[in-house]
Amino acid sequence: MDAYLAAAVQMTSQPHLEKNLNEAEELIELAVRQGAKLVSLPENFAFMGNDEAKVTQAAQIAAASEKFLRTMAQRFQVTLLGGGFPVPQGDRQAYNTALLIAPDGHELARYHKVHLFDVDVPDGNTYRESNTVVAGRDWPPVCSTELGQLGLTICYDVRFPEIYRHLSQQGAEVLFIPAAFTAFTGKDHWQVLLQARAIENTCYVVAPAQTGNHYNTRHTHGHAAIIDPWGVVLADAGERPGVAIAEINPQRLAQVRRQMPSLQHRVFG
């Protein structure tokens, strides 16, 4: 595997499917123009609205999202991650689904988010993802591609290190952590959690993100990032929509794993 550029897209998605997909297309094109071969979109890239609206439109969002991802991957000849969109399960619930698509448009991997964000945030906002989302039951996949071994997770998963240890044990070299991280928790926890997952598993982390105000009081942190296996932040998109781009280098990965062979020294698990 040769070194290549990866892109973590940052969006301010709204409760407007078509508008969001148009914005996503523009940002994918921006990443491709800069040379990206691996492009990742954040959680809720296609729709960021309240639970009622999300459930009501879930079938439409799912169909449009899958078609969009396949079309974009083929058009721009990139490997493309859609970091999270609802896939209906019955009338009132959905899986929060990440989908990885190959440059020829075929599906490489699919993951249903297992950890649901049911939290009373100290800023006064309450989140109950389980009201409308069905938790996945399977470990996330590691997908073997020409760009390396890619592991899929979604947002709140980042607080559960065992899921990333599982991915590294399955051979992951790049960990996707697409997110819509709350503004309140993000300022203290987002970057340090991403760095921890990279360091403890000696993997690259690619973390596309939502940013800004989406509807009502829903604000997200931003700072889509790419982090190397030593924990170095290679790119940070800041707080505005845009793209974080950095190199994924297999020689750097091998070097870090030689210098810090902690995965070989595990005693438990």
3-state secondary structure 32-45: HHCCEEEEEECCCC
- Active-site residue, 43 included: yes
- Active-site residue, 54 included: no
Instruction: State the catalytic residue, choosing from 113, 143, 173, 203.
Output: 113
C-beta of residue 70 within 8 angstroms of C-beta of residue 81? no
Instruction: State the catalytic residue, choosing from 43, 66, 173, 203.
Output: 43
Instruction: State the catalytic residue, choosing from 54, 66, 143, 155.
Output: 155
Task: Kindly state the DSSP code that residue 243 receives in the 8-state scheme.
Answer: E
Give me the half-sphere count of Cα atoms (radius 13 Å) on the Cβ side of residue 212.
Answer: 13
- Active-site residue, 155 included: yes
Nearest to 138 by CA among 86, 83, 95, 79: 95
**Exposed e or buried b per residue across 64-88, where buried means at least 16 C-beta atoms within 10 angstroms of its C-beta:** bbbebbbebbbebebbbbbbbbbbb
Q: Could you give the CA distance from residue 174 to residue 141 in angstroms, rounded to a whole number?
A: 12
Identity of the amino acid at 112: H
Residues marked active site are found at 43, 113, 155
